[in-house]
Amino acid sequence: MDIRVAVIGAGSWGTTVAHLCAHNAPTTLWARDPEVAAAVRTRHQNPRYLAGYELHPGLDASADLAGVVSGADLLVMGVPSHGFRQVLVELRPHLRPWVPVVSLAKGLEQGTRKRMTEVVDEELPGHPAGVLTGPNLAKEILAGGAAASVIAMTDPGVAESLQAIFHTELFRVYTNTDVIGAELGGALKNVIAIASGMADGLGTGDNTRAAVITRGLAEITRLGVALGGRPETFAGLAGMGDLIATCISPQSRNRHVGEQLGRGRSLEEIIEEMNQVAEGVKAAPVVVSLAREVGVEVPIAEEVRAVVTEGRSAREAYRGLLRRPRTSEQRLPR
Domain total in the chain: 2
What is the amino acid identity at position 226? A
Over the stretch 249-262, which tens digit does the pLDDT of each residue have? 999 999 999 999 99
CA atoms within 13 A on the CB side of 232: 3
Q: Does some domain include residue 328?
A: no
CATH assignment of the domain containing 201: 1.10.1040.10
Could you tell me if 288 and 232 lie in one domain? yes
Could you tell me if 61 and 203 lie in one domain? no
Could you tell me if 155 and 277 lie in one domain? no
Could you tell me if 153 and 264 lie in one domain? no
Over the stretch 278-309, which tens digit does the pLDDT of each residue have? 788 989 999 999 999 999 999 999 999 999 99
pLDDT computed for residue 280 by the predictor: 87
pLDDT for residue 334 is more than 50: no
Give 274's DSSP letter.
-
Question: Under 8 Å CB-to-CB from 49, ≥6 apart: which residues?
Answer: 10, 11, 12, 15, 275, 276
Q: Does some domain include residue 292?
A: yes
The per-type count for the chain, helices as H runs and strands as E runs, is 16, 8
Mean pLDDT, the chain, whole residue set: 93
Could you tell me if 53 and 154 lie in one domain? yes
Q: What are the DSSP calls for 180-221, one per residue?
A: HHHHHHHHHHHHHHHHHHHHHHHT--HHHHHHHHHHHHHHHH
Q: Where in the chain does DSSP place strands (E)?
A: 5-8, 27-30, 60-62, 74-77, 101-103, 129-133, 147-152, 171-176
Over the stretch 160-171, which tens digit does the pLDDT of each residue have? 999 999 999 999
Over the stretch 175-231, which tens digit does the pLDDT of each residue have? 999 999 999 999 999 999 999 999 999 998 888 889 999 999 999 999 999 999 999
Average pLDDT over residues 17-33: 98
**Maximum Cα interatomic distance, the chain, rounded to a whole number of Å:** 60
- Determine the length of the chain: 334
Q: Does some domain include residue 332?
A: no
Could you tell me if 136 and 198 lie in one domain? no
Question: Under 8 Å CB-to-CB from 72, ≥6 apart: which residues?
Answer: 4, 5, 6, 28, 95, 96, 99
- Out of 177, 205, 231, a domain closes at 177
CATH assignment of the domain containing 163: 3.40.50.720
Q: What are phi and psi of 171, to 5 degrees?
A: -125, 100
Q: What is the value of pTM for the model shown? A: 0.92
Give the confidence band of 333 by pLDDT, cuts at 50, 70, 90: very low
Q: Taking the chain, what is the end-to-end CA distance rounded to the nearest angstrom?
A: 44
- For residue 145, the enclosing domain spans 5-177
Active site members = 189
- Out of 118, 149, 177, a domain closes at 177
- Out of 161, 177, 193, a domain closes at 177
Give the confidence band of 328 by pLDDT, cuts at 50, 70, 90: low
Q: What are phi and psi of 133, to 5 degrees?
A: -150, 160
b/e sequence 72-85, b meaning 16+ C-beta within 10 Å: bbbbbbbbbbeebb
Q: What are phi and psi of 317, to 5 degrees?
A: -65, -45
Q: Does some domain include residue 226?
A: yes
